[in-house]
Amino acid sequence: VVCANDWILCLHQTLLILLVIGKWLLPVAGGVTRDELSQLLLIFVGTAADILEFTSETLLDVNSPSMVYVILGVWTWSMFQFPLHLSVSTSRPDEYSEGDQGVSLLARLRTDIWSMVESLFIQDGPFLVVRLTLVLHFHVVHQMLIFFTIKNFLVVVLNFYRLFVIYTDYKASG
């Protein structure tokens, strides 16, 4: 006999696997090259693993129905990154020369910036908030929750550091 939690986990796993395979097999719009698609698929596999852990670990630890809704809402929100191509470059790096002053920072670095926005607002930022709420407010503490909370914190901090580096390099060159 399979319990309800096992069925839910199985459905989450199947959905995430089908999203990655579907992205691979379906035609890609927007001029995404095979190289860019292969990079995107590798990112999606890692993202899917983080999303799967988010629901499988956190839902089992929560006794508050409102927190379950928050977790499921954040999980649903994080799924929006799969149909989007925010972190895929639609322009080649060699289109802009190093000294091209007529091109804005956003135009030259849009892939990096979209990748940071995606991480901060669609996945790692919301996951960090939920995990910190579980640890600090609900006093849920176990090894995997602490590990992924630290992981989400590091990704958020590293994204802000990356944004700072991009900005300072842009100011130094202009």
Asked if 88 contacts 40 with a C-beta cutoff of 8 angstroms, the reply is yes
pLDDT digits (tens, 9 = 90+) for 106-165: 666 777 888 888 899 999 999 999 999 999 999 999 999 999 999 999 999 999 999 999
- Range with the poorest average pLDDT among 49-53, 82-86, 106-110: 106-110
pLDDT of residue 87: 63
Give the pLDDT band of residue 99 (cuts 50, 70, 90).
low
Does residue 62 lie within any of the structural domains?
A: yes
Average pLDDT over residues 71-84: 90
pTM given for the model: 0.81
H/E stretch holding 30 reads none
Does residue 123 lie within any of the structural domains?
A: yes
- The CB-based long-range contact list for 113-122 (8 Å cut-off, 24+ gap) reads 113/163, 113/166, 114/86, 114/87, 115/86, 115/87, 116/159, 116/162, 116/163, 117/86, 118/81, 118/84, 118/86, 118/87, 119/155, 119/156, 119/159, 120/156, 120/159, 122/77, 122/78, 122/80, 122/81
pLDDT of residue 8: 85
How many domains would you assign to the chain?
1
- Range with the poorest average pLDDT among 85-89, 91-95, 115-119, 149-153: 91-95
Average pLDDT over residues 43-50: 88
Dist CA 167 CA 174 (whole Å): 11
The residue range of the domain holding 142 is: 4-91+102-173
Give SS3 for 174. coil
Does residue 96 lie within any of the structural domains?
A: no
Does residue 128 lie within any of the structural domains?
A: yes
